[in-house]
Each structure stands twice: as structure tokens, then as C-alpha cells.
């Protein structure tokens, strides 16, 4: 048990919840809820909120929740506390993804230093500057993923780069009809409010005959106010991989993803994702079929230096995501 002096007051608990809720999530569905108390925060999965038709549905929920877990750890460090993280702590409750509690040890300064990036990070679906992310910085991001037990595989050599790019394009043509309809409904073609405003979707890509590596989430939807843009020809691409492919690994993958994204944000590098080949079981196999691969692909990242910064994507209010007190 932590020393009573380490107990979190109501304001500090709210800081944890706000940080956790700022994490990236599949289609901004925020498939989570939280229980906060003096000892820390529980992160619960809420799979009913996320798209169900893709082969990646369960993974995407765990990856999203893992990113929320990482932000909670960062916030605890900011609050001057050490953190203990238990992933899937109760065998009888698979929706309890993780418990992050105050530990009787000093905060991790590396995590504390990332706190200022939690609210600044954005998924950026606008064109980036033509420069590649330098190799030294990619190494730093590799280390960030490695700290969390994952591998960030930079696609920095041919033919691997073109091979994965081709899979990204192929996935856009072959997407399952039900998955496409689910996505369209979430983005404004359905009855509910859209999960993402058009400012967050970025412009409709043009100018590259075979399609850029940016994913147009609203492909085929006629949403007013988007505009069009030419994207960088050769974005920096990387695949986040985990050695195993089970819920514990996906939660680790989500924490690694957020650590990479916060480190990148702090250095002026933005990211968007081209996960469409990972949402199809066969294409996902192909993404990982390179001789040099380390493990199972969880996220495909497009990294670069932004020209435009989108607004923060909306979040559900704290009252809605907080399902109670006392972890
Ligand atoms: C598991 C997962 C998969 C995602 N897949 C994609 C994707 O394929 N394309 C994309 O543009 N964004 C993708 N995203 C980013 C989310 O859409 C984004 O986090 C969400 O809209 C919230 O916006 P924010 O990251 O700016 O806070 C993904 C995020 C997660 C966690």
C-alpha cells in the first residue's frame, strides 16, 4: 500500500482522468471508461463503442486503452508519484484493462518530461514538409517503443518501403463493405454526431496517381468543407510491432504507441496512421512477412514535420467516461 501522504486528492484524480482521455483511439471512439480514487485509476475497455466489423476490432480497443494507460502513468509522474501498472489484473474481468496506482517510489523523470506533450499531441492528416524524419530521431523513437516492450520498425529501405506502401493502397481498394459502412456512419453519414470534425480529417488527398500513404478516413464520403491537398511524395513510414499477439501485448503496444507519439510531439514531429492493411487478416500477414520483421504489426505510422496543426479532436466529457471512484 502506498504511504497515505501519496494519496491522490479529487483534483489530482481528475488530472489522471483528463490525461488518460486525451489518448488516441480508434476512430476517436474512446472505447474506455475510468474508475479513479486516492490510489490511482482503473482503465476499463468499452468495446461496444468501437467499430466491430474489422479483423482488428479487439486489438484496436486494447491499443487505445493502452495509450490511455500510458498517459495516466505520465500524469502520475507529473503529480510527483511513482506508478505501478498491472495489465489485466483480474482474471475474471477481461474488460479491466489495467490498474495504475501510486507506488511508494519516486516518479520517473522521463515520464514526467512527457506530460507537456499529452495535450499537444494530435493525429495530423494534413500534408507534412517533404523532409524525412532524421535517422537519429527515428532511433530515439525506436528506444521509446523498446522501453514499453515493442519495436518501431522504420521502413527506411527498399524494397520494403514500396512493399508496405502497396499494401496500404491495396487495403483502401479492398476494404470490407461492412467496415466501410461502419466508418462512414461514425464520420457523419449515420444518425449520430460525427466522431471527428472535418478539420481533423484533413484535406482530400490529390496529385499522386497511386494514392499517398495518408489514409483518407472519409474516403468516398461527401463531407462539406474539406478541401483538397497534395501530400508529400515519400513520407517517413514505420510499423509498430509486438513479439506476441494477445491482449497483454496489445496493451503494451498501446503504451508504446503513446510513448513514441509523445516523444515525437516534443521534437516537433507529427503522426497519422495508415492502419488499413492491419484491419484485414490476410493483408496484415503480408505487412509482417518481411525477413527482417520482429513481430506482429499493431500500427502503421506516417511521421513528419507538420505544415498545419489541426485542432484537438473532441473528447467525451469527464462525467461520461468516469464510471465511479475508488479503483
Ligand atoms: C488503434 C488505433 C488505430 C488507428 N487507426 C488510424 C488510421 O488507420 N488512420 C488514421 O488516420 N488514424 C488512426 N488512428 C488515430 C485516431 O483516429 C485518433 O487517435 C483519434 O481520431 C483521436 O484524435 P487525436 O489522436 O488527434 O487525439 C488510430 C488510433 C488508434 C489508437
Tens-of-pLDDT digits for all 327 residues of the chain? 444 558 999 999 999 999 999 999 999 999 999 999 999 999 999 999 998 999 999 999 999 999 999 999 999 999 999 999 999 999 999 999 999 999 999 999 999 999 999 999 999 999 999 999 999 999 999 999 999 999 999 999 999 999 999 999 899 888 888 988 888 888 887 677 889 999 999 999 986 556 667 788 988 888 888 999 999 989 999 999 999 999 999 999 999 999 999 999 999 999 999 999 999 999 999 998 666 666 999 999 999 999 999 999 999 999 999 987 665
Ligand 1 atom closest to 276 (CA):
8
* H-helix or E-strand spanning residue 24: none
Ligand 1 atom closest to 200 (CA):
26
Ligand 1 atom closest to 123 (CA):
26
Ligand 1 neighbour 196 (Cβ under 6 A) = yes
Ligand 1 neighbour 261 (Cβ under 6 A) = no
Ligand 1 neighbour 123 (Cβ under 6 A) = yes
By C-alpha distance, which of 73, 72, 46, 71 is closest to 61? 46
Contact 30, 321 (CB under 8 A): yes
Same fold, 4-118+313-325 and 135-190+199-304: yes
Ligand 1 atom closest to 300 (CA):
8
Cα 20 to Cα 74: distance, rounded to the nearest angstrom: 9
Contact 313, 28 (CB under 8 A): yes
Burial 156-179 (b: 16+ CB within 10 A, else e): eeeebbeebbebbbebbeebeeeb
The topology under which CATH files domain 135-190+199-304 is NADH Oxidase (3.40.109)
Question: Which of 18, 22, 26 to mutate for ligand 1's pocket (most ligand atoms within 8 Å of CB)?
Answer: 26
Cα 213 to Cα 169: distance, rounded to the nearest angstrom: 8
Q: How far is the CA of 217 from the centre of ligand 1 (A)?
A: 10
Q: How far is the CA of 60 from the centre of ligand 1 (A)?
A: 10
Cα 13 to Cα 38: distance, rounded to the nearest angstrom: 7
Domain boundaries, the chain: 4-118+313-325, 135-190+199-304
Helices 57-78 and 10-21: crossing angle in degrees, nearest 10, is 140
Taking domain 4-118+313-325, whether its CATH number is 3.40.50.2300 is answered by: no
Q: How far is the CA of 159 from the centre of ligand 1 (A)?
A: 27
Amino acid at each position: 500500500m502506498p504511504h497515505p501522504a501519496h494519496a491522490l486528492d479529487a483534483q489530482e484524480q481528475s488530472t489522471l482522468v483528463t490525461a488518460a482521455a486525451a489518448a488516441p483511439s480508434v476512430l476517436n471512439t474512446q472505447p474506455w471508461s475510468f474508475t479513479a480514487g486516492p490510489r490511482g485509476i482503473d482503465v476499463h475497455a468499452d468495446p461496444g463503442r468501437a467499430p466491430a466489423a474489422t479483423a482488428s476490432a479487439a486489438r484496436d480497443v486494447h491499443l487505445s486503452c493502452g495509450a490511455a494507460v500510458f498517459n495516466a502513468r505520465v500524469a502520475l509522474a507529473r503529480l510527483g508519484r511513482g506508478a505501478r501498472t498491472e495489465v489485466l489484473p483480474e482474471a475474471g474481468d477481461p474488460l479491466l484493462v489495467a490498474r495504475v496506482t501510486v507506488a511508494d517510489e519516486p516518479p520517473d523523470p522521463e515520464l514526467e518530461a512527457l506530460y507537456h506533450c499529452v495535450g499537444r499531441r494530435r493525429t495530423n492528416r494534413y500534408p507534412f514538409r517533404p523532409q524525412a524524419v532524421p535517422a537519429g530521431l527515428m532511433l530515439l523513437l525506436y528506444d521509446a517503443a523498446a522501453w514499453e516492450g515493442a519495436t518501431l520498425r522504420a521502413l527506411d529501405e527498399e524494397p520494403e518501403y514500396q512493399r508496405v506502401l502497396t499494401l496500404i493502397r491495396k487495403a483502401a481498394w479492398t476494404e470490407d463493405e461492412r467496415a466501410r459502412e461502419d466508418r462512414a456512419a461514425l464520420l457523419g453519414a449515420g444518425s449520430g454526431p460525427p466522431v471527428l470534425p472535418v478539420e481533423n480529417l484533413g484535406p482530400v488527398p490529390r496529385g499522386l496517381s497511386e494514392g499517398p500513404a495518408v489514409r483518407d478516413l472519409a474516403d468516398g464520403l461527401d463531407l462539406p468543407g474539406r478541401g483538397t491537398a497534395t501530400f508529400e511524395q515519400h513520407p517517413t513510414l514505420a510499423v509498430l510491432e509486438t513479439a506476441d499477439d494477445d491482449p497483454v501485448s496489445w496493451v503494451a503496444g498501446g503504451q508504446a504507441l503513446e510513448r513514441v507519439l509523445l516523444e515525437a510531439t516534443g521534437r516537433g514531429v507529427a503522426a497519422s496512421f495508415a492502419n488499413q492493411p492491419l484491419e484485414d487478416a490476410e493483408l496484415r500477414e503480408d505487412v509482417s512477412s518481411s525477413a527482417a520483421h520482429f513481430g506482429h504489426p499493431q500500427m502503421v505510422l506516417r511521421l513528419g514535420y507538420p505544415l498545419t496543426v489541426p485542432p484537438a479532436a473532441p473528447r467525451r466529457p469527464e462525467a461520461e467516461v468516469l464510471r465511479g471512484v475508488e479503483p
